């Protein structure tokens, strides 16, 4: 279980790094997790890691694939991350969208710098160089 939690911790660091590329700002590294609009917010990095682990990881061969982690907004010096688990059955760990694991990163449009051209060659190269998407084609 510690291995899974370490992987989730690294994933959260990458969610922040990805959102910082899009926002062009330094973002908080402590979190609030929301997994549905009316759910209770999970507060603090440790609690968020625990919650993601409990909801995504059932056993070594039963992991929910395609879990969106969206950097949504800043609230009281926390980065709010929205989690959405797709309706697929759990399965062994596999490659997700452009990277290993079940997680897909996103950034709320409101966090993205409005002056940033996210389709520019320079920005796309910056994403590639970040190492966040090792399977980028």
133 in a domain, yes or no? no
Q: CA-to-CA distance for 40 and 60, rounded, in angstroms?
A: 28
- The predicted model scores a pTM of 0.91
Structural domain includes residue 16: yes
Alpha-carbon distance of 18 to 13, in angstroms, equals 9
Residue 136 lies in a domain: no
Whether 135 maps to a domain, the answer reads: no
CA distance linking residue 60 with residue 43, whole number of Å:
26
- Residue 24's pLDDT is 96
User: For residue 47, which phi and psi values (nearest 5 degrees)?
Assistant: -70, -35
Confidence of residue 136 (pLDDT cuts 50, 70, 90): low
Residue 90 lies in a domain: yes
- pLDDT tens for 98-111 read 567 899 999 999 99
Name the residue range of residue 42's domain. Answer: 2-128
Residue 60 lies in a domain: yes
pLDDT at 66 over 70: yes
């Amino acid at each position: 279980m510690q291995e899974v939690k370490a992987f989730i911790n690294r994933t959260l660091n990458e969610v922040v790094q990805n959102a910082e590329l899009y926002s062009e700002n330094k973002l908080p590294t402590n979190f609030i997790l929301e997994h549905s609009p009316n759910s209770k917010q999970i507060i603090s990095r440790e609690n968020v890691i625990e919650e993601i682990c409990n909801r995504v990881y059932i056993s070594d061969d039963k992991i929910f694939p395609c879990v969106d982690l969206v950097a949504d907004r800043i609230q009281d010096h926390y980065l709010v991350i929205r989690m959405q688990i797709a309706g697929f059955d759990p399965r062994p760990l596999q490659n997700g969208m452009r990277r290993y694991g079940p997680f897909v990163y996103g950034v709320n449009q409101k966090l993205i710098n409005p002056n940033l051209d996210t389709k520019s060659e320079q920005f796309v190269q910056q994403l590639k160089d970040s190492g966040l998407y090792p399977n980028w084609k």
